[in-house]
Amino acid sequence: MDERNDFDRKYVATRLPDKLKLAEYIKEAKGPGRTMAEFAKQCGTLSAPSFSRIIKGNLVKPLSVEIIQSIVKNAAPGARVDYESMMRANGMVPEDLEKEESDVTVYRERAEQEKNMELQVRNIIADEHFARGHMIQYFPGLPEDVSPRHEYLSPIYIPKSRFGLSVPSSFTIRIQGHEPLFWNYDVNLHGVNLHVPERDKLAELPYASFFLRDTWEPETLKDVKQSFVFVDKGTYQAFLSLLSGVKVHNNVSVLLVDLKAGRIVEEHFLDRYDGKQMDSVFLEKRME
């Protein structure tokens, strides 16, 4: 038996569910050839409206084992969905692995805590989008074209940097109605280097590779809205101070997330050379 689809394997909850991944797995399992009603009927565990609510981010607790098994067992042929991946997206790991991980070093425990905190940030940002009626497509990172492709394929990638300059990314989404824009979020749970010589400000900035790419290859980021996300107000303000006077060619913002309140506090956009200004969608009224 394929271990990834071993339905007898025991799982335990270790972190929050990943709403975006679960939504993508459900859409993948349904496939293009069935309506949500048909898929729900075949699963027999949730109604079509319930599945739709999960896809829209309305998930307050992990899904049951029975629901996930029904999704995997009734997944469309060729769907990239398996039991272990769905359970991990549900915030659960195999019990035998969890017991092994209980004996690991403090470093591993801290890494797990950090991963859980980053997932919490991701869920908050997703909730803020869902609350405004945004239909989201999720990517684990910013897709970058790394191989020759044909134009007629219309790939959903950004162009590869000619200089090997990276774009920091914790996760990326696309919002229906805002194509071809990628909304790329990089979550910073730590501090930033404040000792930056004024003469080398751009080159020594945290995420220098991104800012150099925006300067040298702005066309490669024209379809990207880059957001640097902070959870500590002091670090957020220090980063904004560090960026004071810096202008960019593309859409770049800095976000402050309040983990306790579970919301985005504010979003600040950097000034663009062309004077254009993108409005924060988080200022839009939340849906009732």
Question: How confident is the model over 172-211, as pLDDT tens digits?
Answer: 999 999 988 999 999 998 755 444 444 444 444 568 899 9
Domain assignment present for 288: no
What's the distance, CA 109 to chain centroid? 22
pTM to 2 decimals? 0.74
| Domain, as residue range, for 218 | 112-283
Which of 70, 103, 136 represents a domain boundary (last residue)? 103
Average model confidence (pLDDT) across the chain: 86
- pLDDT score, position 99: 57
Q: Please check whether residues 271 and 233 belong to one and the same domain.
A: yes
Is 283 exposed, middle or buried, given 0-12, 13-18 or 19+ CB atoms closer than 10 A?
exposed
Q: Please check whether residues 228 and 277 belong to one and the same domain.
A: yes
Which of 103, 135, 159 represents a domain boundary (last residue)? 103
Q: Please check whether residues 145 and 11 belong to one and the same domain.
A: no
Over pLDDT 70: what percentage of the chain? 85
What CATH number does the domain containing 19 carry?
Answer: 1.10.260.40
CA–CA separation, 24 and 279 (whole Å)? 27
Looking at the 3D structure of the chain, how many domains does it have? 2
Length in residues, the chain? 288
Domain assignment present for 217: yes
Burial call 171-191: b when 16+ CB within 10 Å, e when fewer: bbbbbeeeeebbbbbbbbbee
Q: Please check whether residues 99 and 136 belong to one and the same domain.
A: no
Instruction: Write the CA distances from 286 to 7, 54, 140, 175, 264, integer angstroms.
Output: 40, 18, 26, 16, 12
| pLDDT mean over 116-131 | 93
Q: Please check whether residues 96 and 132 belong to one and the same domain.
A: no
